[in-house]
Chains A and B, each alone.
Chain A
């Protein structure tokens, strides 16, 4: 009996799936704030908050038909309508105005990349410090298949924004996204094949090596055995924009060319949102599949998983390929959005930046990763500059530092602090999946031995 108690104390049972506090708070708080912002009426905001609270605490809510869809659908609707109500939003204290649509597109692309990395790090537990290699691969694929870079050939397949006589390969971006995904997934397999035999930190360091080699190839790629592959430090630009071409435009009214369209940014935004939804859908389905369960088994105990018949190499390689696939699509879309790709975009700090999103949000938790990626990429794009401007304007900088400060200068330090604090005080992330949380706290349970015997 005594022994059993000790065992129970050391290994807390997985808790029943309950909604974490942060998620609850977000669900109640955000819509209320939005209502407050749009109507400017505090009472209406309170009513909305009350309604949502009531909905959360009515026990029958989850068993309603479509009950579990209420929250995701609300978020999706709010996200889709964002370009319409964004100009009417109020200013938040310290953070200033809400992110612009331009920033929104970048945020969505980073959400997609973070979700891709989440498959590798969160599901399969393989620390990948070179995820930027996949991003770069996707971006360069877009550059090769949809620009004037290879000017000695002329090949058009649905490319928009360029005349039929323009040299280079011009494939429709929709096709390029798919090609980029596949090529990048293939790169993932190629990189994974020799390296996935390694475990833990060795794997991390090898992926870091690949992540460092990639920008150097991009940088020196203007003369690879006589061929100009990447156009060196100048990068490749312009890259064709997405679009549906004239025939689809006249037939069903889809926009011809995103770049020249009157509401260009909104089109980019909605497409990115569609890609994110696709990624979320795939993430959820993959997680619940046989493959996904195998990933989680490997993450929790590689030896035990192998003993139960999980083929380690093949399963890990699939995790790499799946993660790389989404990274590649995101990279290709970002290149098309920015209309260019440059080696300087692919350094190590981007890998860590994306990793930071996954860790802050909660490894393995889709909601968590979305929130983490949205928040951090917002901070990077607008947030830090806004905070700095606010601090300088209101005398906070003078009071603390004695002079005006340039907050974006501290970006890498701030991300470092986020990584350290998250790991020290909430290693499971802001919105963890309950399973991952149990794993992280298993090792530091109350009755854990003073010194770890073996923890791999």
Chain B
């Protein structure tokens, strides 16, 4: 009897601490705000949902690049956003010089796929080069050293973008069709939005397959888990890390193509801005976790779209950046491991 009572007493009960209460309260308030807006203007809500989905897919693609690199090197690759920006500028150059706005049908699609491949290769090359030039030497240095180098690389790439295309936004010819795919709640889902999803899904699926099923993916996961042990098992650590940067660059390239074609303009500061948003997405989903990065990207995409579009008590586009960083700070304070991640010593 006595032992039974004792065992009941020591069973750990759930103690809600004030931090998680505040966190849950914030999420609930956000949900109520969304609900009221949905009831007031359902058409706007559907439209913004589709915008958020499109933006979120692009953010997710960029966020994967951050997550991949962080997972393997524990390094925030600040230059990643700027690699994405340079890719977008390449797309702008290609669409203009090949006069793609005059083409249509199958020819256009072939060109878009060709551009996708070229941009991916271009971004992957830049990203791998950066790793070899700037990060490899510092692999055993204190953690701050490669981080500072990454910021330096980001500035260099931004300057390259500035000199390449100038300070003003470069417009990209609008080549995507605007016809309706289907309609929900009276709001048309147009082809130019649908294409973003159409490209994102296969890219993501092939990435998942690569990481989960192939030998190279196994090597990546092993290196991320324990670099020294991986080296002992005969994995070429340098090559695996280079490969990770290559894949991350490919993701940035795909995102750059979709971004440039969907938003139809690109500016040299855009890489940094999108990079920060995508990094927030990666942290939100749990950095190092690939499905998490996509989820985080979608959440940020929705938050941004709803904030900028909804009528009832929304702060508006002036505050988007602040809200995104506010989310970043709140996530790091309330749940540093992210939505799908595991707890790390950094956040403890």
Contact = CB atoms under 8 A, between A and B. Distances in A.
Contacts of B154: 416
B340 interface: no
B147 interface: yes
15 contacts: A127-B147, A195-B333, A199-B345, A219-B318, A349-B155, A414-B159, A419-B155, A423-B148, A424-B134, A424-B149, A440-B141, A449-B228, A451-B231, A452-B140, A456-B143
A194 interface: yes
A424 B140 contact: no
Interface in A91-148: 125, 127, 129
Contacts of A205: 76, 279, 283, 328, 332
B313 interface: no
Contacts of A427: 138, 141, 145
Interface string B309-348: 0000000001101100110110011001000000001111
B144, B154, B162, B163, most chain A CB atoms within 10 A:
B144
B151 A424 contact: no
Contacts of B74: 201
Interface stretch (A6-14, A30-38, A208-216, A271-279): A208-216
B237 interface: yes
B88 to A, nearest CB: 18
Given A198-B332, A352-B155, A451 B237 contact: yes
Nearest 8 interchain pairs by C-beta: A413-B159, A419-B152, A416-B155, A209-B325, A416-B156, A420-B152, A416-B152, A451-B227
Interface in A431-453: 439-440, 443-444, 448-453
Given A200-B346, A201-B147, A212 B237 contact: no
B152 A412 contact: no
A146 to B, nearest CB: 27
Contacts of B145: 423, 427, 440
Nearest to B142: A443
B159 A220 contact: no
B304 interface: no
Given A201-B346, A420-B153, A444 B141 contact: yes
Contacts of B276: 208, 212
A456 B345 contact: yes
B153 A416 contact: yes
Given A199-B346, A206-B329, A423 B140 contact: no
Interface string B87-128: 000000000000000000000000000000000000000000
Contacts of A444: 140-141
B211 to A, nearest CB: 21
Contacts of B137: 424
Q: How large is the interface on A (under 10, 10 to 19, 20 to 34, 35 or more residues)?
A: 35 or more
Contacts of B326: 209, 213
Interface string A178-207: 000000000000000011011111101110
Nearest to A411: B159
Contact of B155 (A129, A409, A415, A449): A415
Interface string B48-88: 00000000000000000000000000111000000000000
Contact of A413 (B160, B237, B319, B329): B160
Given A212-B321, A413-B159, 12 more contacts: A206-B329, A208-B276, A209-B328, A210-B329, A213-B321, A213-B325, A213-B326, A216-B322, A423-B145, A423-B149, A423-B152, A439-B142
A355 interface: yes
A162 interface: no
Contacts of A456: 143, 345
A410, A451, A453, most chain B CB atoms within 10 A:
A451
Contact of B148 (A355, A413, A417, A453): A355
B192 interface: no
B178 interface: no
Contact of B138 (A198, A409, A423): A423
B75 to A, nearest CB: 8
A216 B325 CA distance: 11
Contacts of B158: 412-413, 416
B239 interface: no
B159 to A, nearest CB: 3
A448 B155 contact: no
Contacts of B346: 198-202
A16 interface: no
B292 to A, nearest CB: 16
B76 A201 contact: yes
Nearest to B144: A127
A410 B164 CA distance: 12
B40 interface: no
Contacts of A374: none
B51 to A, nearest CB: 21
A432 to B, nearest CB: 13
B329 A194 contact: yes
A359 interface: yes
A119 B282 CA distance: 30
A56 interface: no
B157, B228, B326, most chain A CB atoms within 10 A:
B228
Contact of B231 (A217, A355, A450): A450
Interface string B257-296: 0000000000000001000100100010000000000000
Contacts of A206: 328-329, 332
A348 B326 CA distance: 16
A213 B155 CA distance: 20
A205 B283 CA distance: 10
Contacts of A359: 148
B240 to A, nearest CB: 12
B325 A212 contact: yes
B148 A202 contact: no
B329 A195 contact: yes
A411 B329 CA distance: 30
Given A198-B332, A201-B143, A205-B76, A216 B134 contact: no
